[in-house]
Amino acid sequence: MVDDAALIERVLARLRASAGPLSGARLSQQLGVSRTAVWKHVEALRRLGYAVEAAPRAGYRLVSAPDRLYPWEIREGLRASRFGREIRHFETTGSTQDVARQLAEEGAPEGTVVVAEEQRSPRGRLGRAYHTPRGGLWFSLLLRPRKAPEEVICLSLLTAVGVHRAIEIVTGLRPLVRWPNDLLIDARKVAGILVEMASEQDVLRYVVVGIGVNVNLGERDFPEDLRPIAVSLRQALGRDVPRVQLLQRVLKEMETAYDTYLREGARSVLDAWKALPTILGQPVTVESPWEIWRGVAEDLDDEGALLVRTDEGELRRVLAGDVRIVTAR
């Protein structure tokens, strides 16, 4: 569909920067291509969903852009220096995690982003299926930290920090963070995070962080069984949220938190996570493959595990499992 993505990006940038219409001849001169090439790439922009007016003897004028997560849209105004500079965009894919893992094995650089408008077979934590229709923000981010595999929990907490900060900056909302990284609004899930890793000996080879945010979904976009437990930013706000802006902010906040972690270690992540609205201090149930028990979430230990005080007074360490807030009935 796209003949030359780089040239499309340059044509789009010229149209955006112009205070008025730009003639085909002027665009041709500025870009060093033929007028036929200009017309061809304007048509490509239209096929991609951009509204471009063409007035006789005046030229082309950009009227509006589609709500699509195209690489050039993400890079336009992106404040992160590494995260998001390499982007793979799909209208539909099975799972951005699978694509990102393949790219990681092929040597893709740290900060590579794989984003899809929708996924056919996404995965959530603990192997759960995840509903990802159009209108949400579904992407994976490749990291290459030279850290021990057990520190992957810090990357999970760090991602929750970055996503939370971005949502708060863009929307003003302050979701509750359920350990380790689910974000909730009124006890319903608005964002989920999946962290997968590959390691050799005692060092991580790479980490793929999958992030899903229910952005501009309506109630009917969720299956009936998910409606009581899932919510979107649009439902919470009563208006649409610019997805490109939100993704740009997530990448910026993630990069900032990640670089701080690489410089200062796990303590910076633990302190940042605990500074958010979290489940700490709340009654919870903890479910593992072999038992279910209750207690009060008290703190994180130095490795990021959740410390829960049981109803019997024992302080137990949770490093894996499903932690849910006990709601009053």
Question: Structure tokens of 325?
Answer: 């807030």
Q: How many CB atoms lie within 10 A of CB 145?
A: 19
Q: pLDDT means per 10 residues in the chain (329 residues)?
A: 74 93 94 94 95 92 94 94 96 95 98 96 60 92 96 96 98 97 95 95 95 96 92 98 97 98 97 97 92 95 96 92 81
pLDDT computed for residue 1 by the predictor: 38
pLDDT computed for residue 57 by the predictor: 83
pLDDT computed for residue 258 by the predictor: 98
pLDDT computed for residue 328 by the predictor: 61
**Contact predicate 241/215, CB 8 Å:** yes
Phi–psi pair at 41, nearest 5 degrees: -85, -25
pLDDT computed for residue 4 by the predictor: 78
Residue 312 makes CB contacts below 8 A (sequence gap 6+) with none
| 287 burial via Cβ count (<10 Å: 0-12, 13-18, 19+) | middle
pTM for the whole structure: 0.92
- Residue 75 CA, chain-centre distance (Å), reads 15
Phi–psi pair at 272, nearest 5 degrees: -65, -40
- Residue 54 CA, chain-centre distance (Å), reads 36
Q: Are strands 59-64 and 283-287 parallel, antiparallel or unpaired?
A: unpaired
Q: Are strands 182-185 and 292-300 parallel, antiparallel or unpaired?
A: unpaired
